[in-house]
Each structure stands twice: as structure tokens, then as C-alpha cells.
Structure 1
Amino acid sequence: MLKVIVVDDEPLARKGMLVRLTAFPELQVVAECANGPDAIAAIQAQTPDLVFLDVEMPGMDGFAVLKALQERHIRLPYVVFVTAYDHYAFNAFEVQAVDYVLKPVEPERLKAAVEKVLTFHNAADSQKRTDKLAAAVARLTGDQPDTILERLDNAEPVVSDRYPEAISIKDSGEITRVQVQDIDWVDAAGDYMCIHTRDGQTHILRRTMKELESELDPRLFVRVHRSAIVNVNTIAKLQMLTNGEHQLVLTNGQAVKVSRSYKDRVKQVFSH
């Protein structure tokens, strides 16, 4: 049997995962943790084979937990990431030992993740496990797997800060640095992005929505439409219109349409 630890700051999410894991006789849950520091202590004490690790947790998120384990030279278990966001493009992972599941967790998706871990476990050694984890973290951070492995060998932090604090915008021979935290929302205008900031200014950025979204922390920004991204801290309310569509009202009074394909992602903001 594989020893398992479940890490999630949401009690209902932990309970739901524990219930679903009872379907797998190969797994034995030895601990559940509500935050990063407790997870590190439990992993060190229990030496689990597998950890279901929530990516988004206050204070110390899942990435920080991985960094702390590496820095303390604690043996890395298999890791299945759990997240409410699909921003990280987990579906691109071609790995056996490290997988992901999206919240709310679907039984079939969880079964597939567990089967991947079990398959790899039957033939894996410590180096293969490290290689797979390095590949997964590389996908998350944009770094090369070799760089991740070099950091492991040198006892350096595995995960560096991914999201910039400011964005440089070139316009008419000038470069303006816009603090990311000051961005209220962004909308697309052809080949350009209109970045609307807290001080009422609008900055024009020549970049695609996909490129800009990759630079914005998904814990702070949510895609609400094919052509709109909103700072979650500026959302005042979500309205249902008479035609059945939805729109957000921001703290500055701005209304932003929510497309049907992004409605569930927006509702996640209101579940926290």
C-alpha cells in the first residue's frame, strides 16, 4: 500500500478527497493537512509515498511546500497537484509519477491520476521520481528540467518567482512600468491589449491575450471572456442579466461581460 497525505486548506475539499480515496485499496491515508507548514511536518514525520497537494493555499502555497521540502532535504514523495484553476496547462503534462486533478474533483479523473502513480511506482526508483517531479515543476515555472535538477543537486530553491510585479509598456518612444497589482482589468482591442489601471488610466500593450494571461498570477486575475481579464480584488458583484448572461460589476462601476465558457471559472472567485 502507498501511504498518502492530503493537503488542502478547504475542509470540505479535504473531506471530499478522503471519501473518494476510499475507493482505492492500494492507498492508505496517514494524514490530512490544512496548510503548508503542517504538510511539511507531516511529510517529514510520515514519509508518505504520495501527496495530494493543493496548489492555491494562503500563506504557503503548494509550490512553496515543494521548495521547503527540497531545502530541508526531505525525501520528495509522488505529488498529484490539486487546483481550482486550469491556467497552469496541466493537461500538457506527459508524466507518469506527477499528475493533476481539477476542483471539483471528478472520480474518473482521480482514478486516472492514481493509476498513473501506481504504474510508475511499480517500476520507479528515486532518480526517476525526481526526474518526473522536475519535469512537472518545469512545466509550472517555465524553467528547463535540467535547471530544476541542478537546483536540487545544489540544494537551491526549486521554484523561483514566476509572475512579474510590473509590466513594461512601450508607447511613443517611452516605456512605462505598470504595477500588476494596480491593474483593474484588461480587454482586447484587435492586436492590442487595453490595460485599465486603478488611477483611471488606460495603457495600450501590443501583445496577445494568451501571452499577457501567462504573465498574470491566476490567484489574482481571472479570465472572464475571450477578450477580458479581471483583477479579482476589483470584483464587486456578479449579475445575471435578463437574457440569461452574466456580467461582473467592478468596484469602479465598470461592467464586464462574462462569457458562458468562463462562467464557472468566475464563480470559483465567489466560492472563497
Structure 2
Amino acid sequence: MKLNIAICDDENRILTHTSSLIDIYQFQHLDTNLSVDCYTSGESLLENYTQPRQYHILLLDIEMPGMNGIETARQIRNTIDRNAIIVFISSYPEYMQESFSVHPYFFLQKPATQKNMNQLLDEIIDEITNSTHMYTLIDMEDIQHTIYLNDVLYIHTYNARKELLSFHLPNKELHTKGHLGEWEMKLQNYHYISCYRGYLVNLTHIHYVTKDQLILDNNEAIPLSRTNRKRIHQLFLDQVVTIE
């Protein structure tokens, strides 16, 4: 599993210390791939945080010059990513009550210890694994990507002879090797439907249906075969989705 972590603290020594704790955890858990970015202000974190689920875990200091950690978390919750796991790391426990307004996952006393960091990451990773349907994809450049099944718009076989698949998400497209039929079997209980040869579409991202197309949330049109038309129309009726 690959998880992206952002650490935000105005003290470089704390950034180095916290990052090293995560590196040690990574060394002890080789089946987990943790990527860490460090920021020295809330403003710089917000400037670089451009899309939901860019970061799975945020480790935020509270007392920082300019925008403090609680306000940074509030901005992220309200405008960028309401589902990010937020952990405050602070030497000021009096801020704990105020921090509840942005629904943090945990409040870690500064400086964090290896024992506390290991316990925290164990709990978070266990919760993420058990509460969301995630897959790790390895793309054509052997880079790992953790994807959430709910985020995928559709999967497309763009080269059947070479067994090449493209996973289409709202803000990116990932390419990997595989058989669409195998993915159809894996995802049969997750609202994915075959609508046309070489296409597997996430039912929850279909905005409406026409005679020969599925129109997705992002206005992309996916072909719909005549043989699948009646079945998919019925699925939409069952899902209480407006059919056009």
C-alpha cells in the first residue's frame, strides 16, 4: 500500500525528526510505501495541496507564524479535502479543545516518539485498509499508485493485444498491464458495469444515459452497446438515477 503524508511545521528540526520517525517505520514495515512531503508553513501546504486525496495523512503543528495549524486544517477541510486524516503534533495541549472543530484523528504530543508514531501509523493504516476499498496499481514505469475504487470513473482496454489498461480518475489517468475481464470479476460487487467492449464503468459516476452513450460526471461520453442498453437502464432505475 502506498500512502502520501504531509508534515507541516515551521521548525526544520521538527520536520527532520518527524520525517525520520516515519522512515524508521517504513524500514520496519516493508510492505507499506510511505511518501513524505515537508512544509514549513500552512500557506505553503495549501499552495501545493491541489486535489482531494493528494495526501492521505496530514501531520500538522498548531502554533506557526502566519496561518496556524488549526486554520490550515479548516481550509483543507472546507475547500480541498474533507476526508484527509489530520493529526496535530504540538507541545501546547491547551489547543486540543479548539482543534476538535476540524475533527482531527489524533493529537500527538511534541516531540513525537518512535513508539507513539508506530502506534499512530499502525492504527491509521489499519483503519484506511478496513474502511475503504483500495487497490495498489503498478503503472508502466513501475511506479505504485494507491487508488480508491469509488474515485475511478472507468477502466478501458486501449490495447488488447498488449493487454494494456487505462484507469480514468477525475484528475489523472493511469496505465497498467492486465485483463479487463479479471478486473470485472474483482469489481462485480462494487457497482462496476460492462457497457461496451473494452469498457468497465463505475455506475456511481454516470450522470445520465442516452440511447447509445453513458455521460459521466465529468461530461465524458462512453459508448453503450445495444445489448447492454436495457440492463443498464434498469440498473439506473434501481439506483434512482434520472435517465434521459
Task: Compute the TM-score of the two structures, normalised by the length of structure 1.
Answer: 0.40
TM-score of the aligned structures, taking structure 2 as reference length? 0.45
